[in-house]
Amino acid sequence: MNDTEQLLATVHALLRAEGMGEAATVVRKYPAHLEQTGYDNWNGGTNIIELQFQLPADDYARLGSKRTLLEEQITTRVKAAIEPTSQDWYSAKIVPAKEFRADWRSDVSDLPRQVRVNIVDGLHLENVRWHGKLDDVEFLSRLVNLQQLPSTDSRFPDAAGDIWQHRYNNDDWDDDWVFSDSRFQLMDGTADEFLRFLCEVVHPVVRPERDEVLNLVLQFNDQLRQAGWELYEEERIAGRPRFSYRLLQEGSSRVVLRARTVADALDAGWMAKEIERLEHAVDRDPALAIGTAKELVETCCKSILSKRGIAVSKSDDLGDLTKKLTKALQLVPEGISEAAKGAENIRLILRNLTQLTSNLAQLRGLYGTGHGRDGQHRGLQPRHARLAVASAVAFVDFVSETYHHRESLGRSD
């Protein structure tokens, strides 16, 4: 066993013992090497050494702002393992692995112009100002250095001057001028340029109203997913989501996409909002996703019961709603007697689906924020959230299809 491998094994053991599972996974899962990054002559000479963990681009991006915390956790344990035998300065660093694909210059990850046109048309139809509460110069300065872009007006030395002149002094450019301005290449440039622009459109500083932002992100993603992209919540600023963009993984978000189809079919606006919250929270906030999965089931039940004209009281919990829905939709198939084995099996499946999301929602209360935790505390993981979300979607998919089936037959099935 070489020294690096022994160091990694020790750091992994320390992290696991202290309940830092995600950091331990980084140490165990990804290749690492020691690299000297500097030298300090003080106190007889100290080498500055980084323990670099190389992550594939997708995994690196998925960690987002958590990278700093994981690096700090690993660094502390590296120092604990090294300091008794060395005066050198060690730290951990998570870096993207170098990679090369022969087709990396091709347009396989590009964003078609028609998708961009649809998004811009949507902004126009909804009378959405792309620059939000900022003026055009303030907004665009967050993306590019306008002093380094040329002016289209000979009276001004740079883009900042001519934009201000024609948008605010003369007011002779239309509101959507930026989409046809070749300096910004939004409609025909790289996918990154357009996607960075969209992320800025929904940035909390530009658009502080959370509901408005979530509605816009929902609209953007409806178009972007057709091209294999999506906006996702990367972090929160003062309680408001800040979005970034990423390529969709093969097969990812299928469950959530199915839930969105159900919401559209039921014309249930509140379900759509909960689905958007689910999508953003599964990896970043599993406890929130689990609670939202339960709310999704409740909203679906209430939507269908309302369409059936069946009263729902404020005191009805998830179990009450499920019982009413089971009776209203006759979820036990016609022709199967109450004594038949199949009837009881169907009841058990439906009961288990609703109980699963309800029980996981209770776990959210036990493991959520707002309570003091000891050093051994382990919170809910994304896999728990995915279980809850998949179960909730399976339920709403089944009952909504049954509802539409009953409606198509005049409720006489």
What confidence score (pLDDT) does residue 74 get? 94
d(CA 6, CA 36): 18
List the domain boundaries for the chain: 3-96, 113-252, 284-368+379-408
Q: Which pLDDT belongs to residue 137?
A: 94
The pLDDT assigned to 105 comes to 60
Task: Quote the distance between the C-alpha of residue 56 and its chain's center.
Answer: 19
Distance CA 353, CA 346 (A): 11
- pLDDT of 1 reads 43
Pick out the chain residues at pLDDT < 50: 1, 107-108, 250-252, 369-377, 411-413
Six-digit token string for 294: 């339960």
d(CA 230, CA 195): 9
Q: What is the pLDDT of residue 96?
A: 92
Helix/strand/coil (H, E, C) string of the chain?
Answer: CCHHHHHHHHHHHHHHHCCCHHHHHHHHHCCEEEEEEEEECHHHCEEEEEEEEEECHHHHHHHCCHHHHHHHHHHHHHHHHHHHHCCCEEEEEEEECCCCCCCCCCCCCCCCHHHHHHHHHHHHHCCCCCCCCCCHHHHHHCCCCHHHCCCCCCCCCCHHHHHHHHHHHCCCCCCCHHHHCCCCCCCCCCHHHHHHHHHHHCCCCCCCCHHHHHHHHHHHHHHHHHHCEEEEEEEEECCEEEEEEEECCCCCCHHHHHHHHHHHHHCCHHHHHHHHHHHHHCCCCHHHHHHHHHHHHHHHHHHHHHHCCCCCCCCCCHHHHHHHHHHHHCCCCCCCCCCCHHHHHHHHHHHHHHHHHHHHHHHHHHHCCCCCCCCCCCCCCHHHHHHHHHHHHHHHHHHHHHHHHHHHCCCCC
Closest among 396, 388, 391 to 286, alpha carbons compared: 388
Tell me the percentage of the chain whose pLDDT exceeds 70: 76
- Please tell me the predicted confidence (pLDDT) of residue 260: 59
